[in-house]
Amino acid sequence: MDRFKIHGGKKLNGTVQISGAKNAALPAMAAALLTSDPVTLQNIPRVRDIITMAKLLAHMRCVVGSPDLPPSEFTIRAENVSMQEAPYELVKTMRASVLTLGPLVARFGHARVSLPGGCAIGARPVDLHIQALEALGAETKVEHGYVEARAKRLRGATFRFPKITVTGTENILTAAVLAEGETILENSAMEPEVTDLAELLIKMGAKIEGVGTSTLRVQGVDKLHGATHAIIPDRIETGTFLVAGAITGGELLLTNCEPGHLKTVIEKLRSCGVEIKCEGNGKVRVRAGKKLVAADVTTEEYPGFATDMQAQFMALATQAEGVSKVRETIFENRFMHASEMARMGANISIDANLAVVTGPTPLSGAPVTASDLRASAGLVLAALVADNTTTIDRVYHIDRGYERIEEKLTQVGAHIERVTDSR
């Protein structure tokens, strides 16, 4: 199991190229199941979840090929899909495997996908995915840890998500595009990753209106065709590096990003005294400013403050003067990084979904354990300002979603080393 050893206290300076968004690439890969033609995806991040999705598609007998290694471009050919099943072994390592449910049942009339079960950041059920598929006429059965869905052909319907769900919206959108007639999805997620998926589907011949709004209107078509699509930049990686520049008191230029996708995060960081300049052409410059000051944050669905940036913001709050209240409204149990940061000297108290961070406190290097993808990013940021050495265990969490994070940080002056041992 790999660990990171980080020697904190270095100002980060230089340029970081932002990768493609994992959370946009995953539904795009699943959408390739909708056609027998090749679908080529570019700007794919080289992270473990993408490899898991490629394995899952290969398990279904798709041909997944890439001109470069490790891949940043894939062509997926779902011509001879003979296995419409996502097995437990793959789903348990990546919840987003459930994204294959909608496209499989839409094109083949049948899908069997293992239930993701609980995970470190809360129960995270898929009941809304199932409810919405049923509204489109699928018969579903949950048995032996699997959800099975069948429909000769899905029928368009109006469905209002009782709660906003990102992968739920993506799953049902990729089902509705091949359904008979019109589907209206109300209270849909408006995340840029959903919009990116809709744009890919439109290139494949889908008829979708209301893209970027909470009401998606789909006219089902009989068949979709191949397409080539470049995945949007990763807004969470962008936000993480914005905090990295700010927290270490350095100056970073981030390239290949889309600041329009993280307006709320940028505004919040500015209110903490961070200087952020959007320079056009996918470039954003970040500098610490004179002093970091506290700010309150409540996580919300897009365009609100992303829950996936909460742990990173908390790391910043430990270095800001005053009291920052961080309220998590999307997931239960998403403060596990707080106790690890407290072990490094942070002053954080938790009451249900509210964390109160009083800063600034000097952080001191300590052995800590990553509990999920974004929690690990928060711990890396805390370690960058801690004195001495921090060892972060279980970095496989961060490898799921951040491309070469230790290389990118090293390039701008951080002292970070990956330690592989055979424990």
Q: Let me know: does 299 contact 231? Beta carbons within 8 Å.
A: no
Q: How far apart are CA 345 and CA 259, in angstroms?
A: 32
* Selected binder of ligand UD1 within 167, 312, 369, 371 (CB under 6 A): 167
* Selected binder of ligand UD1 within 3, 129, 394, 400 (CB under 6 A): 129
Q: What angle do CA 255, 258, 259 make, to 5 degrees?
A: 100
Q: How far apart are CA 299 and CA 329, in angstroms?
A: 6
Q: Catalytic residue, from 119, 257, 272, 278: name it.
A: 119
Q: How far is the CB of 389 from ligand UD1 (least distance, A)?
A: 30
* 133 forms part of the interface with ligand UD1 (CB under 6 A): no
Closer Cβ to ligand UD1, 50 or 288, answer by number: 50
Q: How far is the CB of 270 from ligand UD1 (least distance, A)?
A: 22
Q: How far is the CB of 126 from ligand UD1 (least distance, A)?
A: 5
Kindly write out the interface string for residues 251-270 of this chain, putting x where it contacts ligand UD1 by CB under 6 A and - elsewhere.
--------------------
Mark the segment that binds ligand UD1 (CB under 6 A) among 30-38, 76-84, 164-172, 386-394. Answer: 164-172
Closer Cβ to ligand UD1, 171 or 183, answer by number: 171
* 10 forms part of the interface with ligand UD1 (CB under 6 A): no
* 142 forms part of the interface with ligand UD1 (CB under 6 A): no
Which phi and psi angles does 123 have, rounded to 5°? -70, -40
Q: How far is the CB of 124 from ligand UD1 (least distance, A)?
A: 4
* 307 forms part of the interface with ligand UD1 (CB under 6 A): yes
Burial class, 152, CB count within 10 angstroms (exposed 0-12 / middle 13-18 / buried 19+): exposed
* 160 forms part of the interface with ligand UD1 (CB under 6 A): no
Other CB atoms closer than 10 Å to residue 52's CB: what's the count? 18
* 168 forms part of the interface with ligand UD1 (CB under 6 A): yes
Q: How far is the CB of 413 from ligand UD1 (least distance, A)?
A: 29
Closer Cβ to ligand UD1, 115 or 295, answer by number: 115
Give the residues across from 208 on adjacent strands: 218
* 47 forms part of the interface with ligand UD1 (CB under 6 A): no
* 23 forms part of the interface with ligand UD1 (CB under 6 A): yes
Binding residues for ligand UD1 restricted to 84-113, rule: CB under 6 A: 95-96
Q: Let me know: does 397 contact 375? Beta carbons within 8 Å.
A: yes
Q: How far is the CB of 354 from ligand UD1 (least distance, A)?
A: 16
Binding residues for ligand UD1 restricted to 55-84, rule: CB under 6 A: none
The one-letter amino acid code at 339 reads S
Q: How far apart are CA 407 and CA 19, in angstroms?
A: 13
* Selected binder of ligand UD1 within 308, 372, 399, 403 (CB under 6 A): 308
* 331 forms part of the interface with ligand UD1 (CB under 6 A): yes
Q: How far is the CB of 412 from ligand UD1 (least distance, A)?
A: 25
Q: How far apart are CA 59 and CA 179, in angstroms?
A: 25
Kindly write out the interface string for residues 188-227 of this chain, putting x where it contacts ligand UD1 by CB under 6 A and - elsewhere.
-----x----------------------------------
* 330 forms part of the interface with ligand UD1 (CB under 6 A): yes
* 163 forms part of the interface with ligand UD1 (CB under 6 A): yes
* 371 forms part of the interface with ligand UD1 (CB under 6 A): no
Mark the segment that binds ligand UD1 (CB under 6 A) among 104-112, 139-147, 162-170, 336-344. Answer: 162-170
Burial class, 421, CB count within 10 angstroms (exposed 0-12 / middle 13-18 / buried 19+): exposed
* 368 forms part of the interface with ligand UD1 (CB under 6 A): no
Distances (CA, A) of 165 to 204, 249, 302: 24, 36, 11
Q: How far is the CB of 73 from ligand UD1 (least distance, A)?
A: 20
Other CB atoms closer than 10 Å to residue 277's CB: what's the count? 12
119 annotated active-site: yes
Judged by the rule CB under 6 A, the positions of this chain that interact with ligand UD1 are 23, 26, 95-96, 122, 124-129, 163, 165-168, 193, 307-308, 330-331
Catalytic positions, written as ranges:
119
